[in-house]
Amino acid sequence: GNSVTQMEGPVTLSEEAFLTINCTYTATGYPSLFWYVQYPGEGLQLLLKATKADDKGSNKGFEATYRKETTSFHLEKGSVQVSDSAVYFCALPISSGSARQLTFGSGTQLTVLP
């Protein structure tokens, strides 16, 4: 089945710093790719997604581009805020023919300091 490898954390940045969290995937076909975020005390929330190669997903200042050449879906933000402190998960369907099961990366804990 499909799988994802995510940059290990934790990551600590100062406010307004540039953020990159690396995510690479192994998949048959071209499944949708997702970034989920878990803020303290809350459930997982879909942050952004891309459904086909070269698509760019974006939300709340975060962006990720579906790159089939490098099988990557890196998460970026130009200027992080304290409120971005959370755990970020890269994910994709476990099989390209279905989005029933998701397989996740190990998560990256981001802490943004004022």
Partner 1 sequence: EAGVTQFPSHSVIEKGQTVTLRCDPISGHDNLYWYRRVMGKEIKFLLHFVKESKQDESGMPNNRFLAERTGGTYSTLKVQPAELEDSGVYFCASSVLAGHEQYFGPGTRLTVT
What values do phi and psi take at 55, rounded to 5?
-65, 145
Which residue lies nearer to partner 1 by CB, 10 or 78? Answer: 10
Q: Does 29 bind partner 1 (CB under 8 A)?
A: no
Q: What's the token pair of residue 104?
A: 């996740």
Q: Does 7 bind partner 1 (CB under 8 A)?
A: no
List 29, 42, 69, 70, residue binding partner 1 (CB under 8 A): 42
The structure tokens 């070269």 sit at: 54
Cα–Cα distance for residue pair 91/12, rounded to 1 Å: 22
Q: Does 28 bind partner 1 (CB under 8 A)?
A: no
Q: Does 51 bind partner 1 (CB under 8 A)?
A: no
Which residue lies nearer to partner 1 by CB, 14 or 101? Answer: 101
Interacting stretch for partner 1, rule CB under 8 A, among 19-27, 42-50, 63-71, 77-85? 42-50
DSSP state of 72: B
Q: Which residues contact 18 (CB under 8 A, 6 or more apart)?
A: 76, 77, 78, 79, 80
What values do phi and psi take at 82, rounded to 5?
-55, -35
Site for partner 1, rule CB under 8 A = 6, 36, 41-46, 89, 91, 94, 98-107
